[in-house]
Amino acid sequence: MSEPIITFSKVNKWYGNSFHVLRDIDLTVTRGERIVICGPSGSGKSTLIRCINGLEEHQEGSIVVDGTEISDDIRAIEKVRREVGMVFQQFNLFPHLTVLENLTLAPMWVGKTPKAEAEKRAMLQLERVKIAEQAHKYPLQLSGGQQQRVAIARALCLTPKVMLFDEPTSALDPEMIKEVLDVMIELANQGITMICVTHEMGFAKAVADRVIFMDQGQIVEQNKPHEFFNNPQSERTRDFLSKILGH
Amino acid sequence: MNAVFTPVAARPAPSSTRGPLVWLRRNLFSNWQSSAFTLALLVLAVLYVPGMLRWMVFASITAADADACQAARGIGACWGVVTEKHRLIIFGRYPFDQQWRPLVATVLMMALLMASCTRPFWRPWLAALWVVVLAAAFTLMSGGVLGLAKVTTDQWGGLPLTIMLSSLSIVMAFPIAVLVAMGRRSQMPAIRTFCTIYVELIRGVPLISVLFMASFMFPLFMPQGFSIDVLVRVLAGITLFAAAYLAEIVRGGLQAIPKGQVEAAQSLGLSYWKTQRKIVLPQALALVVPGIVNSFISIFKDTSLVTIVSLYELTGALGLALNSDANWRPFKVEGYLFITAIYFVFCFAMSRYSLWIEKQLNRSKNR
- Whether A86 has its CB under 8 Å from any CB of chain B: the answer is yes
- Cα angle B150-B153-B158, degrees, rounded to a multiple of 5: 110
Please tell me which of the candidates A106, A151, A155 has its beta carbon nearest to residue B270.
Answer: A106
For residues A169 and A179, what is the distance between their CA atoms, to the nearest angstrom? Answer: 10
Q: In chain A, how long is the greatest CA-to-CA distance?
A: 56
Q: Which residues of A touch B271 (CB under 8 A)?
A: 74, 78
Does residue B366 carry a pLDDT above 60? no
Cβ neighbours for A37, distance < 8 A, ≥ 6 positions apart: A45, A48, A49, A195, A196, A197, A198, A211, A212, A213, A214
pLDDT exceeds cutoff 70 at B363: no
Residue A62 backbone phi and psi in degrees, to 5: -135, 145
- Kindly report the nearest CA distance between residue A244 and chain B, in angstroms: 28
pLDDT score for A247: 57
B185 close to A (CB below 8 A): no
CA distance readout (Å), B300 to B212, B239, B295? 18, 12, 9
Nearest to B303 by CA among B160, B136, B195, B178: B160
A109 → chain B, closest CA residue: B270
Contact (CB<8Å) A109/B263: no
Give yes or no for residue A127 having a pLDDT over 60. Answer: yes
Are the beta carbons of B295 and B242 closer than 8 angstroms?
yes
Taking each helix axis as running N to C, give the angle between helix B289-302 and helix B230-255, from 0 to 180 degrees, rounded to the nearest 10.
160
Judged by a CB distance cut-off of 8 A, whether residue A158 touches chain B is yes
Put simply, whether B271 touches A (Cβ < 8 Å) is: yes
pLDDT at residue B335 in the model: 86
pLDDT at position B220 over 80: no
pLDDT tens digits along A181-200: 999 999 988 889 999 999 88
Q: What is the pLDDT of residue B88?
A: 84
Give the Cα separation of A64 and A50 in Å (integer).
13
Distance CA B180, CA B245 (A): 10
Are A102 and A139 contacting, i.e. CB atoms less than 8 angstroms apart? yes
Q: What does the domain layout of chain A look like in residue ranges?
A: 4-245
What is the structure's pLDDT at B123?
84
pLDDT tens digits for A13-51?
Answer: 999 888 999 999 999 999 999 999 999 988 999 999 999
Residue A88: pLDDT above 80?
A: yes
- Which has the closest alpha carbon to B182: B270, B256, B294, B276? B276
pLDDT at B361: 78
- Give the whole-angstrom CA distance, residue A85 versus residue A81: 7
Neighbour count for residue B334 (Cβ, 10 Å): 20
Over residues B144-203, the pLDDT tens digits come to: 887 788 888 888 888 888 988 898 899 899 999 999 999 999 889 999 999 999 999 998
Q: Note whether A237 and A214 are within 8 A (CB).
A: no
Q: Chain A residues with CB inside 8 Å of B279's CB?
A: 94
| Interface residue of B188, B257, B259, B267 to substitute, partner A, most A CBs within 10 Å | B267
For chain A, give the number of residues.
247
- Computed over every residue of chain B, the mean pLDDT equals 86
Task: Answer for the pair B266, B292: CB distance below 8 angstroms, yes or no.
Answer: no
Of A98, A140, A158, the CB nearest to B269: A158
| CA B17 vs CA B12, B27, B28, B32, B346: distances in Å | 11, 12, 15, 20, 39
Q: What are the φ and ψ backbone dihedral angles of B315, each rounded to 5 degrees? A: -65, -45
Side-chain half-sphere exposure of B244, counting CA atoms within 13 A: 20
Q: Which residues of B touch A93 (CB under 8 A)?
A: 264
Please state, in angstroms and rounded to a whole number, the distance separating the CA atoms of residues B272 and A62.
Answer: 24
Q: What is the DSSP letter of B58?
A: I
Q: How many whole angstroms separate alpha carbon B319 and alpha carbon B347?
A: 21
Residue B364 is predicted with a pLDDT of 60
A–B interface: beta-carbon pairs under 8 A: 72
Which of A74, A96, A136 to mutate to test binding with chain B, by most B CBs within 10 Å of its CB? A96
Of B258, B261, B270, the CB nearest to A109: B270
Task: Give the integer Cα–Cα distance in Å for B222 and B282.
Answer: 40
Picking from B155, B136, B156, the residue whose alpha carbon sits closest to that of residue B146 is B136
Distance from C-alpha of A64 to C-alpha of A72, rounded to nearest angstrom: 13
% of chain B beyond a pLDDT of 90: 31
Residues of A with Cβ-Cβ distance to B266 under 8 angstroms: 53-55, 81
Residue B49 predicted with pLDDT over 80: yes
Set of chain B residues whose Cβ sits within 8 Å of the Cβ of A53? 266-267
- The percent of residues in chain A predicted with pLDDT above 90, rounded, is 72
Number of Cβ within a 10 Å radius of residue B271: 15
Kindly list the distances between the CA atom of residue B165 and the CA atoms of A38, B67, B232, in Å, as whole numbers in the listed order: 62, 37, 9
Q: Is pLDDT larger for residue B249 or for residue B325?
A: B249
| Mean pLDDT for chain A overall | 91
Query: Is residue A210 within 8 Å of residue A49, measured between CB atoms?
Result: no
Give me the phi and psi of A196, to 5 degrees please: -130, 120
Least CB–CB distance from A81: residue in B266, B282, B366 = B266
Residue B365, pLDDT score: 61
Which residue in chain B is spatially nearest to A104 when comparing CA positions?
B268
Read off the pLDDT of each residue in B350-363 and give the average, rounded to a whole number.
85
Give A168 to chain B, closest Cα distance, Å. 14
List CB contacts (< 8 A) between A85 and chain B: 267
| Whether the predicted pLDDT of B355 surpasses 70 | yes
CA angle A220, A224, A229 (to 5 degrees): 70
Rg (CA), chain A: 18
Q: Higher-confidence residue: B328 or A147?
A: A147
Predicted pLDDT of residue B367: 43
Q: Which listed CATH number (3.30.200.20, 2.40.320.10, 3.40.50.300, 3.30.2010.10) goes with A4-245?
A: 3.40.50.300
Q: What is the pLDDT of residues A47-65, one digit of tens each?
A: 999 999 999 999 999 999 9
**Over residues B93-100, mean pLDDT:** 84
CB contact under 8 Å between A96 and B364, yes or no, is yes
Task: Sort out which chain A residues have CB atoms less than 8 A from B265's CB and list them.
Answer: 94
